[in-house]
Amino acid sequence: MLDDGSTVDALGRLLDEHRTWLRVERGLAVNSLDAYRRDLRRYRSFLAERGVTDAGQVTEELVFEFVRSLSSEGLAASSIARIVAAVRSLHRFAVIEGFVVGDPSASVEAPRVPDAIPRALHEPEVVRLLDAPEGDGPVALRDRAMLELLYGTGMRISELTGLDVGACTLEAGLVRVMGKGSKERVVPMGRLAIRALEAWFAVGRPEMMPSRPARRGDAEAVFLNQRGGRLTRQGAWLIVEGHARRVGLAEKVWPHVLRHSCATHMLERGADLRVVQELLGHARISTTQRYTRITVEHLRQVVDRAHPRSKG
């Protein structure tokens, strides 16, 4: 029986092997693997309702019918595109590994998703958020270090919570980050982030660290929860969200907002696109180029406001 409670058949075994391939060969992170699992579980249920239990029984028309069913459910184009990508990955894997001869999903296209322009906070709003933790207690020191590091380095929340103490070299102002696909990058930290981490390491973290950590690896975690264990991604997001709510930014703050704000503000101040790409750990420059749209709009607003002939 599979982890979703269904019986094991040829398609179920293929799904298990595909998941192992995604984890081992492609090095996908846990969150990405979970997304694939949810999307392919939906696909498997669709096929099961039509008596299909083997990838060799899937036809092109069945895949088209599945995509039409997603549209009829009112799913967003981005969600449909993600699910279709998972389905195509499964069928390509089946061909590569020799389970089937042909790929019934090869000619199925996902709906086009408009390029989303990441939302960034204005610089004064970032300052309000970073100044939100009050006091000098261990929780405030931890939260201040988290916020400064997220904005100062542009790292993802999952990368932040995965940090070990040994990854931080405060003297050199560097932090070693493990990104998507287990790709490591070394990122410089700004003066304020270094100062916040120094205070957390010197005072806050020792107070929150138990004498005997409950789990292996907790003792090496940079950021701890109030029970002394490694802070989870969900826990870190709740902390950011809580401070945003206290300073009136709840509607503008979401998990990657400090990452996007870091990139946007650097580009607005003249940073090279390739430097920002390296900082954020983007595999493709096109991903980083999304931020240039924001900076161009920013320049347009400045010109409209400041140039004497912009309103002629």
- Determine the pLDDT at residue 307: 58
- Determine the pLDDT at residue 303: 64
Residue 82's H or E segment, with its range, is helix 77-96
Q: What is the 3-state secondary structure (H, E, C) of 114-154?
A: CCCCCCCCCHHHHHHHHCCCCCCCHHHHHHHHHHHHHHHHC
- Determine the pLDDT at residue 161: 94
247 within 8 A of 129, measured Cβ to Cβ: yes
Check 42, 246, 282, 290 and give the catalytic one. 282
164 within 8 A of 177, measured Cβ to Cβ: no
Backbone angles phi, psi at 94, to 5 degrees: -60, -35
Q: Which domains does the chain have, with CATH numbers?
A: 10-96 (1.10.150), 123-253 (1.10.443.10)
Q: Per residue in 142-195, pLDDT tens?
A: 999 999 999 999 999 999 999 999 999 999 999 999 988 778 899 999 899 999
Is residue 274 among the annotated active site residues? Answer: no
Is residue 180 among the annotated active site residues? Answer: yes
Check 13, 37, 92, 180 and give the catalytic one. 180
Q: Is 77 in a helix, a strand, or coil?
A: helix
231 within 8 A of 224, measured Cβ to Cβ: yes
Q: Per residue in 72-82, pLDDT tens?
A: 888 888 889 89
Residues of the chain with pLDDT > 90, as a percent, come to 53
* Residue 168 backbone class (left: φ over 0; alpha: ψ -120 to 50; beta: rest): beta
> What mean pLDDT is reported for the chain?
87
Q: Per residue in 222-280, pLDDT tens?
A: 999 988 999 999 999 999 999 999 999 988 898 889 998 998 898 888 888 888 888 88
Is residue 185 among the annotated active site residues? Answer: no
Which residue is it, tokens 């042909």? 102
Check 88, 243, 259, 260 and give the catalytic one. 259
Give the pairing of strands 168-169 and 184-188. Answer: unpaired
- Kindly state the tokens that stand for 54: 């083997």
Check 23, 92, 246, 256 and give the catalytic one. 256
Q: Per residue in 272-308, pLDDT tens?
A: 888 888 888 887 887 777 777 666 666 666 667 765 6
Check 18, 156, 205, 260 and give the catalytic one. 156
pTM: 0.62
Is residue 284 among the annotated active site residues? Answer: no
Q: Is 227 in a helix, a strand, or coil?
A: coil
